[in-house]
Amino acid sequence: MIIGLEQYKTKWNIQTDSAIHPGLEAITSVLEELGNPHKAGKFVHLAGTNGKGSTATFLSAILQAHQHSVGNFYSPCIENLHDQIQIDGKPVSSDELDLVMKQLSMVTTPLTDFELLTAAAFMIFRNHALDFTIIEAGMGGGLDSTNVIHPEIAIIPSISMDHTNFLGTTIEEIAWHKAGIIKKWKPVVVGKLPREALEIVQATANDLHAEVIQPQELATVQLKLKGPHQLVNASLALEAARELLGARFSEQKALQSLTSAHIAYRFEEVFPEVFFDGAHNKASAEALVETIKQLFPNRPIHIVMGVLKGKDYASVLRQLETVSDHFTFVDFDDSRVLPAEILFSENSSKRKTILNWYDILPVQDKEEVTIVTGSIYLLTVLRNSTSPFFQCYQS
């Protein structure tokens, strides 16, 4: 679900499929109809299970600190589709997106929702004539609709089990999809990948004469984004910036920009002692647990959780149960939501409950730190300033 897309589809009578159909035929065809906007400018392409959004945000901050104009295409949204398309850190305006959607209403190629948004992003980025454009793959890599660009550099922050119904049931199969963003003669910066995944990435890169770069992790930078895994993401962005900027790269400017970079839902404190974090698979849950242990080693933790169907929720629960024995499971307004009753039954904690999402806060136990996690779509619903979640807490 792409929040806010329906209003544009209705206004301009655009017919698209909400399902996921991996492949590049449709997006290639529609971009040809539009004059190939994806061939204008310099691109960076990111694919990976976790860390894409943070790494893209870090890299954007570094490039802007060097006085470059930067576009970002994120997936999924924070509040709605406007923040998925950003120019110099600012979401695209509804007026600008409306003009582009009007043009897209005239194309003849049938599209999915995500292909429509991808095409819109490429058109907006071309209109702005940006210095650099950072594109985050929606799912996978090789068959993702964003994989029509020829980037200056590719970045793969992590590879773990996720979207197994589309990408395969082994690390090797998933790595094959992620490695699909690597292009001939262009470097790829990689994070801490499992051995099996790194072997696939290295083999793909060798076939394409592409250099694989594994940067050293930063150790002394104080980041606004919390958790040891963010130092890895920052190091990837730093190395990518070095490659992109060459002799123009300033270490001082880069490090300074990293300290102020921010992205929602990465252990974000939305209220005192209440954090949002979009941990929705085993790897991201492991990172969340490490962050909790680092920041709150002696505090009781209350986990509030809701996820979508198809996620490895059992593995996520096993990780979170190592730092908390108090769980609240929630349903939220999305047709793909996994019933809270299933999470409740799978959870081994004796202190657990199911509540409507508007009943979660205020937090009753002042000693507890509350972590709201699972689906980013849940966090998006709760972040909406008109939701009863916030009204309840602020009352």
Structure-token pair, residue 91: 């979401």
Q: Rounded to 5 degrees, what are φ and ψ at 4?
A: 95, -10
Cα–Cα distance for residue pair 180/104, rounded to 1 Å: 27
CA gap 366, 362 in Å, rounded:
10
CA distance 316 to 296: 19
Which pLDDT score, from 0 to 100, does residue 281 have?
Answer: 83
| pLDDT for the residue numbered 365 | 64
177: left (phi over 0), alpha (psi -120 to 50) or beta: alpha
Give the DSSP H/E element, type plus range, for residue 165: helix 164-167
Give Cα 70 distance to the centre of its chain.
Answer: 17
40 alpha-carbon distance from chain centroid: 24
Please report the pLDDT score of residue 311 as a whole number.
82
pLDDT at 205: 98
Query: CA of 227: how far to CAs of 53, 193, 266, 288, 291, in Å?
Result: 15, 18, 9, 7, 4
pLDDT along the chain (395 residues), means of 10: 92 94 95 96 95 95 98 88 96 97 97 97 98 95 96 95 78 94 98 96 98 90 87 96 98 95 86 86 88 93 90 92 93 84 92 70 69 87 64 53
Reported pTM: 0.85
- Residue 262's pLDDT is what? 87
Q: Which residue reads 């409507």 in tokens? A: 356
- Residue 207: how many other CB atoms lie within 10 Å: 11
Q: What's the Rg (C-alpha) of the chain? A: 21
- Nearest Cα to Cα of residue 154 among 169, 167, 144: 144
Count the Cβ atoms, other than its own, within 10 Å of residue 184.
10
In eight-state DSSP terms, residue 311 is: S
Are 111 and 27 a contacting pair, CB within 8 Å?
yes
Spatial strand order of the sheet with 70-73 comes to: 90-91, 85-87, 70-73, 132-136, 43-46, 153-156, 188-190, 212-213
Q: Distance between CA 132 and CA 70 in Å, rounded?
A: 5
Quote the CA–CA distance of 378 and 332 in Å, as a whole number: 6
- The partner residues of 73 in beta bridges, in order of sequence, read 85, 135
